[in-house]
Chain A
Amino acid sequence: MKPLVKPRSLFIGLSCLCLLAIWLSLALGPVSLPLLDTLRAALRMLGLPIDGQGLEQAELILGQIRLPRTLLGLAVGGVLALSGVAMQGLFRNPLADPGLVGVSSGAALGAALAIVGGSLFGGLPEAVGPYLLSLCAFLGGLGVTALVYRLGRCNGQTNVATMLLAGIALTALASSAVGLFTYLADDATLRTLTFWNLGSLNGASYSRLWPLVLVSTGVALWLPRRARALNALLLGESEASHLGIDVERLKRELVFCTALGVGAAVAAAGMIGFVGLVVPHLIRLLAGPDHRTLLPASILAGASLLLLADLVARLALAPAELPIGIVTAFIGAPFFLYLLLRGRA
Chain B
Amino acid sequence: MLCVHNLHVLRGKKAVLTAIDLELKPGEVLGVLGPNGAGKSTLLGALCGELQPDQGQVLLEQRELAHWEGAQRARRLAVLPQHSTLDFAFRVEEVVGMGRLPHQSGRVRDDEIVLEALQAADAAHLQGRSYLALSGGERQRVHLARVLAQLWPGQPGQTLLLDEPTSALDPLHQHITLQAIRAFADRGVAVLVILHDLNLAARYCDRVLLLHDGRPHALDTPEQVLRPEPLKAVFGLEVLVQPHPERGHPLIIAR
Q: Is the CB of B70 within 8 A of A241?
A: yes
* A68 → chain B closest CB, angstroms: 37
Q: Does A234 contact B (CB under 8 A)?
A: yes
Cα distance A1–B88 when bound, in Å? 12
Which residues from A are CB-within-8-Å of B74? Answer: 242-244
**Is B173's beta carbon under 8 Å from chain A?**
no
Asked if A94 CB lies within 8 Å of chain B CBs, one says yes
Q: Main SS of chain A's interface residues? A: loop
User: Which residue of the partner chain, among A2, A94, A241, A243, contacts B87 with CB atoms under 8 Å?
Assistant: A94
Bound-complex Cα distance A239 to B99 (A):
10
State in angstroms the CA–CA spacing of A242 and B77 once bound together. 8
Check if B62 is an interface residue, CB within 8 A of chain A.
Answer: no
Rounded to whole Å, the gap between the CB of B129 and the closest CB of chain A is 8
In whole Å, how far is B143's beta carbon from the nearest beta carbon of chain A? Answer: 8
| Complex: A1 Cα to B132 Cα, angstroms | 9
Contact with B along A3-29 (1 / 0, CB 8 A): 000000000000000000000000000
Q: Are B89 and A1 in contact (CB under 8 A)?
A: yes
The interface residues of chain A lying within 8 Å CB-to-CB of B102 are 243-244
User: Is the CB–CB distance between A289 and B88 below 8 Å?
Assistant: yes
Does A228 make an interface contact (CB < 8 A)?
A: yes
Is A92 engaged at the interface, CB distance under 8 Å to the other chain?
yes
In the complex the two chains form, is B101's CB within 8 Å of A228's CB?
A: yes
In angstroms, Cα B94 to Cα A234, docked, is: 12
Q: Is the CB of B89 within 8 A of A244?
A: no
* Residue from A284, A288, A289, A290 with most neighbouring chain B CB atoms (10 Å): A289
Query: What is the CB-to-nearest-CB distance from B61 to chain A, in angstroms, rounded to a whole number?
Result: 16
- Cβ of A94 and Cβ of B84 under 8 Å apart? no
Which residue of chain B lies nearest to A294 when distances are taken between CB atoms in the complex? B88
- B181 lies within 8 A of chain A by Cβ: no
Are A236 and B84 interface neighbours, CB within 8 A?
Answer: yes
Taking CB as reference atom, which chain A residue is nearest B102? A244
Contact yes or no, B101 A288, CB < 8 A: no
Q: Which one, B69, B77, B84, contacts A239 given CB within 8 A?
A: B84
Q: Is A57 part of the binding interface, using a Cβ–Cβ cutoff of 8 Å?
A: no
Q: Is the CB of A246 within 8 A of B101?
A: no
A231 interface hit (Cβ, 8 Å): yes
- Quick one: closest A residue to B50, CB to CB? A238
Q: Which of B49, B81, B88, B133 has the most CB of A within 10 A?
A: B88
Nearest Cβ distance between residue A297 and chain B, in whole angstroms?
A: 15
State whether the Cβ of A188 lies closer than 8 Å to any Cβ in chain B. no
Asked whether, in the complex, the Cβ of A242 is within 8 Å of the Cβ of B89, the reply is no
Note all chain A residues with C-beta closer than 8 A to B73: 244
> Which of chain A's residues 232-270 have a Cβ closer than 8 Å to chain B?
232, 234-236, 238-239, 241-246
Question: A242-B48, A243-B150, A246-B70 are contacts. A235–B101 as well, Cβ < 8 Å?
Answer: no
Interface centre among B48, B49, B98, B130 (most CB of A within 10 A): B98
Which residue of B has the minimal Cβ distance to A1? Answer: B130
Q: Does B78 count as interface, using CB distance less than 8 angstroms?
A: yes
Question: Is B71 in contact with chain A by the CB < 8 A criterion?
Answer: yes
- Compute how far the CA of A238 lies from the CA of B99 in the bound complex, rounded to whole angstroms: 13
Contacts of B87 in A (CB 8 A): 92-94, 234
Tell me whether B123 is interfacial, beta carbon within 8 Å: no
Query: What residue of chain A has the Cβ atom nearest to residue B95's Cβ?
Result: A235
Can you identify 6 A-B contacts, CB atoms within 8 angstroms?
A: A1-B129, A238-B50, A241-B70, A243-B74, A289-B89, A289-B90
User: Which 5 interchain pairs have the tightest Cβ spacing?
Assistant: A244-B74, A244-B71, A244-B70, A289-B88, A244-B102
